[in-house]
Amino acid sequence: MTTIRLCFLFAAIVICAGASESQLPCDLRETSHGSVCVCNSTYCDYLEQPELTDSSQIVLISSSKDGLRFKKTTGDLSDNKPITVEDKQFTDENFKAEAIVVDQHRAWLQLANIPQRLFINASTRTVRISVKREQQYQNVSVFGGAFTGTVSHLLKQLPAELQDHVYKSYFHQDGIAYNTVRMSIGGSDFDLEPWAYNEWPRNDPKLSNFTALDPRDLQKIEQLKRLKTVSQLDELKIMGAAWSAPRWMKTNDRWTGFGQLKSEYYQTWALYHLKFLELMRSKNMPIWAISTGNEPLNGVIGFFFVHFMSMGWTPWQQAIWLSDNLGPTIRNSAQSKVLIFGNDDQRYTYPSWFRKMRSSRNNSLSYLDGLSVHWYWDELIGPQLIDQAHSEMPNKMLLNTESCLGDKPWQTHGPELGSWQRGESYMRAYTQDLQHNFNGWLDWNLVLDEQGGPNYVNNFVDAPVIVNATSRSELYKQPLFYAIGHFSKFLPPQSVRIETRIEDQGNSFTQLSVVGFQRPDGTLALIIYNGQNLPVNVALADSQRGAINLRLPPRSWHTVLYM
């Protein structure tokens, strides 16, 4: 294995001699769950943004279960020949893979273990997709992940060169071009201990001890400054959310459990948010947006199984606090341009949460610039609830603000290193949300260790990038990372979704999905997912360009770029 790896690295050096760092390929390593791309202090894979130089050019960026990672295929539309993406060859007759059957309009999926060799002589299906660029929907502007206390702690343990690879891989244009981070105001479940500002003195409505940022946030600021430098970012959006007030403000005087904010501290809690905004701006790291609080139902009904920091709200209570305290406090301050997002909880709370808020304070929703949704139960709850909320509040920005895998009782708690199936879960989820008017997506932790932590409640989950916290010499980009990147890297801010439709579905279930966008420069980006164990022929019917034919390998994702 060592000899093979050395040969690969030697080949990579030869291939890349004279080339820029932005053209380095994936150093693929097999794992028990699939495969990952390995980065160390001196090597990491990157792909510079493809440029379309003329109207006849088409570029496909492809990733596959068999090992493609952002493979670039170019074609010429003027010769009217199909563009074929060549996959890595797989010859193991005993290989079994899960065939994914997807319905983008329901929360339903089916898995079936099917021997790959059964498909050798099977016919290749042709799927017709219409592309109507004249029919436009929402713009997409936000992609990112969470810069939690855990993330900050892990990064601090790594060599500076490896830290830089994390920043560049996520936020540089040669990486996957994130533009936003989410961070907690105080602690979250991914910290080494629960904490909040002004824990002492107790019963202090003027927050006399909230005069400076905590050293943990100061460390994050230094890391974010480095992130911006390495990634050549002029602007980094930061979204803040509080998990819990200091214990003395809460009815149960605890970090977790059944507990809400005491009503006498409603204005104090609004001032708490304002102080954080002011202190962050004083460090030249302004906050772009805040939410009304992370997962408010955790402290009302979720306390049976949620053992990390949380604070409960009912929609009626939150409407009062937003209308009477938080909204006026922010809007009448120097931080008035900071956006406010509501809910920050699961899809199943929509749209009833906002209807109840309106019934409590009719003007409360006027203070909201956007709606925050968490992904965790989306595979069981369909997107129709989001459609209803959007139809009732069409001018509110719609973001998914948290997602990860490994959180459910029936899932592996922590990473399944290299799992293609987990990557497919993200591919389906991003596609579905973007088909239903979302303006962007913020994933959960940017990096975690091999266990899926660390944190103070051993709440282990998966992340797109896993760091080797034992050797501190490697990090592993998972299929999750590339699934996200097929969207974030190729959809710059103000890309607009256009109509794409699979025309020949025999029924409502399909193993292929598509979502399309017109980018600010006028070029198109189509993200296509083939979830079956067979290659598929795709016949695009573009309303302006006419017919475009593609041949895509099994179990693969593709971003198709053309004018």
Q: Which secondary-structure segment (H or E) carries 462?
A: none
Is 94's pLDDT higher than 50? no
Is 173's pLDDT higher than 80? yes
Given this model, what pLDDT does residue 221 score? 98
In the numeric block, which tokens belong to residue 131?
Answer: 């592309």
- The residue behind tokens 């304002």 is 274
The CB-side HSE value for 144 (13 A sphere, CA atoms) comes to 20
pLDDT interval class at 305 (50, 70, 90): confident
Q: Which secondary-structure segment (H or E) carries 125?
A: strand 125-140
* 2-16, 138-152, 212-226: least confidently modelled range: 2-16
Beta-strand relationship, 475-477 and 465-467: antiparallel
- The residue behind tokens 């954080």 is 276
Given this model, what pLDDT does residue 148 score? 98
Mapped onto helix, strand or coil, the DSSP state of residue 563 is: coil
CA 441 to mean position of chain CA atoms: 5
Higher pLDDT, 98 or 467: 467
What gap in Å lies between CA 555 and CA 283, rounded to an integer?
46
In this prediction, residues 384-410 reach a mean pLDDT of 96
Q: What percent of the chain has pLDDT over 70?
A: 89
In this prediction, residues 536-550 reach a mean pLDDT of 96
Is 379's pLDDT higher than 50? yes
Output phi, psi for 133, to 5 deg: -70, -15
Choose among 209, 277, 211: nearest CA to 242.
277
Is 193's pLDDT higher than 70? yes
Q: Which secondary-structure segment (H or E) carries 5?
A: helix 2-16
The CB-side HSE value for 400 (13 A sphere, CA atoms) comes to 32
Average pLDDT of every residue of the chain:
91
Given this model, what pLDDT does residue 511 score? 85
Higher pLDDT, 509 or 182: 182
How many CB atoms are located within 10 Å of the residue 501 CB? 14
For 421, 535, 539, 554, the CA distances from 116, given in Å and listed in that order, are 16, 12, 25, 10
Cis before 351 (ω within 30)? yes
- The residue behind tokens 């920050």 is 344
Buried b (16+ CB within 10 A) or exposed e, 474-484: bbbbbbbbbbb
Specify whether the CB–CB gap between 511 and 100 falls below 8 A.
Answer: yes
In this prediction, residues 66-88 reach a mean pLDDT of 95
pLDDT interval class at 113 (50, 70, 90): very low
pLDDT interval class at 561 (50, 70, 90): very high
How many CB atoms are located within 10 Å of the residue 73 CB? 17
Given this model, what pLDDT does residue 89 score? 62
Given this model, what pLDDT does residue 537 score? 96
Output phi, psi for 70, to 5 deg: 55, 40
Choose among 110, 129, 35, 65: nearest CA to 424.
65
Mapped onto helix, strand or coil, the DSSP state of residue 23 is: helix
Specify whether the CB–CB gap between 484 and 144 falls below 8 A.
Answer: no
Q: Give the pLDDT confidence of 26-60 residue by residue, as tens digits.
A: 999 999 999 999 999 999 999 999 999 999 999 99
In this prediction, residues 510-536 reach a mean pLDDT of 95
Buried b (16+ CB within 10 A) or exposed e, 359-395: ebbeebbebbebbbbbbbebeebbbebbeebbeebee
Given this model, what pLDDT does residue 303 score? 73
H-only helix segments in 417-526 = 420-435, 479-488
Counts of helices then strands in the chain (DSSP H, E): 11, 25
Output phi, psi for 479, to 5 deg: -55, -30
Is 424's pLDDT higher than 60? yes
